[in-house]
Amino acid sequence: MKIGKIPETILKRSVLKQIKHRREEVLLGPAIGEDCSVIGLNGDEVFVLSTDPITGTVQDIGTLAVHITANDIASSGAEIIGIMLSVLLPENTSETELKGMMHDVDIVCEQLQIEVLGGHTEVTKAVNQPIVTVTGIGKMKKSDMIKTSGAKPGQEIVMTKWAGLEGTAIIAKAKEQELASKYSAGFIKEAGKMIDYISVVPESRIAMKVGVSAMHDVTEGGIFGALWEIGAASKVGLEVDMQKIQLRQETVEICEFFDLNPYMLISSGCMLIVTDNANLLVDRLKDEGIAAAVIGRITKGNDRIVINNDEQRYLEPPKTDELYKIM
pLDDT given for residue 185 in this prediction: 96
Give every CB contact of residue 225 below 8 A, 6+ residues apart in sequence.
218, 264, 317, 318, 319, 321
How far is the C-alpha of 276 from the C-alpha of 317, rounded, in Å?
26
Q: Quote the pTM value.
A: 0.87
How far is the C-alpha of 30 from the C-alpha of 6, rounded, in Å?
14
Give the CB-side neighbour count of residue 201, counting CA atoms within 13 A. 19
Tell me the pLDDT band of 3, cut-offs 50, 70 and 90: low
Tell me the pLDDT band of 12, cut-offs 50, 70 and 90: confident
pLDDT given for residue 213 in this prediction: 97
Q: What is the mean pLDDT of residues 51-78?
A: 92
Q: What is the mean pLDDT of residues 266-293?
A: 98
Tell me the pLDDT band of 219, cut-offs 50, 70 and 90: very high
**Quick one: which of 52, 128, 59 has its CA closest to 85?**
52
Q: What percent of the chain has pLDDT over 90?
A: 78
Which CATH architecture best describes the domain 148-325? Alpha-Beta Complex (3.90)
Choose between 145 and 300: higher pLDDT: 300
How far is the C-alpha of 317 from the C-alpha of 224, rounded, in Å?
9
How far is the C-alpha of 16 from the C-alpha of 10, rounded, in Å?
9
May I ask the CATH class of domain 8-143?
alpha beta
What backbone phi and psi angles, to 5 degrees, belong to 265?
-105, 135
pLDDT given for residue 186 in this prediction: 97
- Letter for the amino acid at 269? G
Tell me the pLDDT band of 4, cut-offs 50, 70 and 90: low
- Letter for the amino acid at 79? E
How far is the C-alpha of 254 from the C-alpha of 200, rounded, in Å?
23
Domain boundaries, the chain: 8-143, 148-325
Per residue in 285-323, pLDDT (tens digit) is 999 999 999 999 999 999 999 999 999 999 999 889 999
Quote the mean pLDDT of the chain: 93
